Homo-oligomer: A and B are copies of this chain.
């Protein structure tokens, strides 16, 4: 079934593998020229396909990048809107994308975290890229926005996904704003809060009797069946476009640093896609001359309860052995990360590393970030901050260099993680005597 679906969806290979291969004439996705297989290099016309018909490798977007001078391009970007569309010339979207109804995510704060830097002993400058500032409060808005434009270009009218959390809300919200139908698939026994967050946007929300793997299997079946005709699954048949949204994190970080590359980045790993696309974005900026060509190190962060990439990195393996997830960092709990091997490549090539922290360290790191910078991060943010601390202590991350740590989501979405240890410091009668006795007076 899966093979048949792929064959249907990836019939049209383009004639040449040269970078000047013409884009499909039927769709306008700006500088996106073709899809290209990350394994064998085979090129395909732009379309709702995600795997190579030759070798089943993953497809990614290949570009005809702008040819103007870096000064001109910087000026053009800086004059653009305060969202990801300032980078439209580098994304698989039409030039007029900012005029179409969408959630306009991105351009989130890069917070100089001097208090946290002091606690961790970082002297070279420490920054938090805080993606909780996105419309639905996670980085998923960036990737869904790309998938939406691809869905428009391919004539889809329904936006869909399988999800256990952040993605469901991002898809529901984006579809509502764009006037798309949405249909989101979740395990039937998902926590009530997450169900509400996904359902409030008014799309179809379908509980599947089974676990997340069952949901995914079902979605793959649906894509290959006429029942799913006209459906854009953001993280399946639109995945090559969707994934490109993470490049904008790299662009924003560099522009916000004054068009400079950071020396070190700490990025969470779920499927690993985000980390690989951040690297792709940095490479593009170098190629375009928008930043200086100098080394940078990318560090990957996992939770101990779902650390297949970290385990492979430490063992010196090239392949990633799947693991059954068991961690409070549920947005990172992908036991068989598709981009794991690419992450290993990048960490090794750039001189970075992959590390993991346990759930207690995740909670401690969430509270450390909140206490020092007033940023309340999701568990995934606890993972990156916790791993940063561990890497410094192990001497793997250089505290004298400029370091950017990603927070990809909002603490309001994972309140349970910190509930037990975040309580009132005292409960007193409403009297000055009781207040004095509790030792809370000015000091």
Contact = CB atoms under 8 A, between A and B. Distances in A.
Interface stretch (A69-77, A345-353, A365-373, A390-398): A365-373
Contact of A426 (B104, B196, B206, B217): B206
Contacts of A231: 442
B158 A442 contact: yes
A411 interface: yes
A413 interface: yes
Interface string A153-181: 00001100000000001001111110100
A266 to B, nearest CB: 20
Task: Using C-beta atoms within 8 Å of the partner chain, give the interface range for chain A.
Answer: 35 or more
A202 B366 CA distance: 11
Contacts of A429: 208-210
Contact of A173 (B214, B230, B376): B376
Interface string A197-240: 10111101111111000110110011001011111000000000
Nearest to A199: B422
Contact of A103 (B374, B436, B442): B374
Most buried by B among A101, A221, A418: A101
A214 B441 CA distance: 19
B195 A227 contact: no
A400 interface: no
Top 4 closest pairs, chain A to chain B, by CB? A202-B371, A173-B374, A177-B374, A207-B427
13 contacts: A177-B372, A196-B419, A197-B415, A200-B370, A205-B424, A206-B424, A206-B440, A207-B427, A210-B429, A217-B430, A218-B431, A221-B432, A227-B435
